[in-house]
C-alpha cells in the first residue's frame, strides 16, 4: 500500500493506472476508521483493480469549530487497519494541500439540502461538495463508494455527480452496525460508557417507526411513535427525526403508495456527541 500526501502524487499515480487500463475505486473518509469503512474498501477491491482511500478531516464541512477540533484523528491506526483490505493507495493530505487558497465557489443543492442535515448544519453540504469535487478531480476514479448511514450526503453527492458530469459510478453500501444495532461511526469512540449503553435506542426508534409506517401508512404517526420512545430517555436530545421520500428527501405524504421508497432519518445528541442514523424501506 502506497501512502501519498500530495495532490500531485495522487494525480500521477491514478493517471498511470488509467493509462495501463486499470479500474480505480475510491473511498473518501475522514479517518478514525471502523468496520463500516473497511467494508467499503473491500467492496471497492472486489470491483476494481486499484483502490484509493482518502483520509482527510475536511474543515469546510464543519459548522462547529469545537466539533472539528474534537473529531478523532488516529492516522497510524488507520493505516494499519487498511492493510489486507485491498487498499492499494492511501491519500492523506494536509489542509494546505487540499485548500492552498480559500475557496469562493458555493454549491446549492436546492430542496435536497433544505432539510435535516442541511437545515441544522448550514454550509455543511457546500463543504462536502467542495472536497468531494476536489477528490474526484484528483483521483479520477471509475467508482466511488459511500456508506448509507450518511443517506442525505449520498443524495447530495449523487446530484453533484449528475450536475457536473463526473465520469464515475456512485455506489452506496449498506450501513454496518454493532451487535446491538448502533450504526458504526467514528464519533462512537467519543461516547462515554453510559452514553454508549443508551445509544442503541436510536436504531430501536427507527425500527419502531418502520413498523408503524408499514402498518398505518401515516408518516406522522410513525414519527410520533419513534419520538416517544426516544423521549423516554432523558440523555437523548433529538435534533430531528424525519420520515421522507428516499430520493427527494421531502416529507413523505400520508397514505403513500405501496412500493414507495422511504427513508427515516434521525440526528440526536448523546453525552455531547452528535449521532445520525437512518433506515430505508419500501412500503408494502
Instruction: Classify strands 236-245 and 169-173 as parallel, antiparallel or unpaired.
Output: unpaired
Active site residues: 37
Is residue 187 annotated as involved in ligand binding? yes
Is residue 223 annotated as involved in ligand binding? no
Is residue 37 annotated as involved in ligand binding? yes
Is residue 81 annotated as involved in ligand binding? no
Question: What span, in angstroms and rounded, lies between the C-alpha atoms of 89 and 82?
Answer: 10
Which letter does DSSP use for residue 176 in this model? P
Is residue 35 annotated as involved in ligand binding? yes
Is residue 164 annotated as involved in ligand binding? no
Question: What span, in angstroms and rounded, lies between the C-alpha atoms of 172 and 149?
Answer: 9
Angle between helices 75-82 and 35-47 (to 10 degrees): 40
Is residue 33 annotated as involved in ligand binding? yes
Is residue 162 annotated as involved in ligand binding? no
Is residue 192 annotated as involved in ligand binding? no
24 in Cβ contact with 141 (< 8 Å): yes
Per-residue cell: 145: 463508494
Is residue 169 annotated as involved in ligand binding? no
217 in Cβ contact with 281 (< 8 Å): no
158 in Cβ contact with 144 (< 8 Å): no
Is residue 153 annotated as involved in ligand binding? yes
Is residue 31 annotated as involved in ligand binding? yes
Residues 6+ apart with CB under 8 A from 257: 283
206 in Cβ contact with 264 (< 8 Å): yes
Per-residue cell: 179: 451487535
Is residue 83 annotated as involved in ligand binding? no
Query: CA dihedral in degrees (128, 131, 136, 137; nearest 10)?
Result: 140
Instruction: Provide the annotated binding site for (R)-pantoate.
Output: 61, 153
Instruction: Provide the annotated binding site for ATP.
Output: 30-37, 147-150, 176, 184-187
Instruction: Provide the annotated binding site for beta-alanine.
Output: 61
Amino acid at each position: 500500500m502506497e501512502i501519498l500526501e500530495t495532490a500531485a502524487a495522487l494525480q500521477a499515480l491514478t493517471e498511470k493506472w488509467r493509462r495501463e487500463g486499470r479500474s480505480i475505486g475510491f473511498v473518501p473518509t475522514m479517518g478514525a476508521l471502523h468496520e463500516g469503512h473497511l467494508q467499503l474498501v473491500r467492496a471497492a477491491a472486489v470491483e476494481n483493480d486499484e483502490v484509493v482511500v482518502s483520509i482527510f478531516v475536511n474543515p469546510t464541512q464543519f459548522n462547529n469549530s469545537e466539533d472539528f477540533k474534537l473529531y478523532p484523528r488516529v492516522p497510524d491506526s488507520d493505516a494499519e487497519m487498511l492493510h489486507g483490505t485491498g487498499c492499494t493507495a492511501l491519500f492523506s493530505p494536509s489542509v494546505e494541500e487540499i485548500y492552498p487558497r480559500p475557496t469562493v465557489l458555493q454549491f446549492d443543492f436546492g430542496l435536497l439540502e433544505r432539510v435535516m442535515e442541511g437545515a441544522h448544519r448550514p454550509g455543511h453540504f457546500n463543504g462536502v461538495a467542495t472536497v468531494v469535487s476536489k477528490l474526484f478531480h484528483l483521483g479520477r476514479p471509475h467508482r466511488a463508494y459511500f456508506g448509507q448511514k450518511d443517506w442525505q450526503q449520498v443524495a447530495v453527492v449523487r446530484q453533484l455527480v449528475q450536475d457536473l458530469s463526473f465520469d464515475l459510478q456512485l455506489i452506496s453500501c449498506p450501513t454496518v452496525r454493532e451487535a446491538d444495532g448502533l450504526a458504526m461511526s467514528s464519533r462512537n469512540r467519543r461516547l462515554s460508557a453510559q452514553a454508549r449503553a443508551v445509544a442503541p435506542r436510536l436504531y430501536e426508534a427507527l425500527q419502531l417507526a418502520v413498523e408503524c409506517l408499514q402498518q398505518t401508512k401515516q408518516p406522522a404517526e410513525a414519527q410520533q411513535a419513534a419520538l416517544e420512545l426516544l423521549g423516554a430517555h432523558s440523555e437523548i436530545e433529538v435534533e430531528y427525526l424525519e420520515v421522507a421520500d428516499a430520493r427527494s428527501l421531502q416529507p413523505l405524504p400520508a397514505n403513500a403508495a405501496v412500493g414507495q421508497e422511504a427513508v427515516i432519518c434521525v440526528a440526536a445528541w448523546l453525552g455531547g456527541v452528535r449521532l445520525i442514523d437512518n433506515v430505508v424501506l419500501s412500503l408494502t
